[in-house]
Amino acid sequence: MEEIEIREARFDEPAVQALIALAMAELSKRYGGSGDDTPVAPADFAPPNGSFWVAAASGRLVGCAGWRSHEDDAELKRMFTITAARGQGIARRVLTAIEESARAQGRKRVILETGDKQPEAIALYEKCGYVRIEDFGFYKGEEGVLSYAKVL
């Protein structure tokens, strides 16, 4: 198996934006429309109020996720692993980096929104200790939305 590097990155880097475009295309196939209309900006992921992480193999980005401030919590956004790299534990490693980064910035909890058409994501979050919470975000009240949290 190829060595995977997990590192912090800028959300507005061209390679990161290319990976985000793949993520949005996949979400669009599952849900229609743009895939996710939640407003996000590069500044959302700038320390100390957020952070963005990538997984790279042979210099190529294969996964990503970020967190941004949501009141006193860290909100997980843009979690994605390319199809060819799935099943190697990359998402779990990126999620661990997110949790450690949020904890280092004094966050006590990571929260997230996902959808019922992402069973792989739901399984990962539950396996990693995330539990269902009341819906909170952009899609609050929408059919199929699932919100989760993990105390750090």
Please give the Cα distance from 126 to 34 (Å, whole number).
26
Phi and psi at residue 130, to the nearest 5°: -80, 140
Q: What is the CATH number of domain 4-108?
A: 3.40.630.30
Q: Which residues of the chain have pLDDT under 50?
A: none
Please report the pLDDT score of residue 2 as a whole number: 74
96-99's contacts with Cβ under 8 Å and 24+ in sequence apart are 97/6, 97/8, 97/53, 97/65, 98/51, 98/53, 98/65, 98/66, 98/67, 98/74, 99/150, 99/152
CA 88/CA 54 separation, integer angstroms: 15
Nearest to 67 by CA among 98, 35, 90: 98
Find the DSSP H helices in 12-65.
14-31
Residue 142 pLDDT: 86
What is the reported pLDDT for 97?
98
Q: Where are the beta strands (DSSP E) in 58-144?
A: 60-70, 73-81, 109-115, 131-133
Please tell me the predicted confidence (pLDDT) of residue 1.
Answer: 55
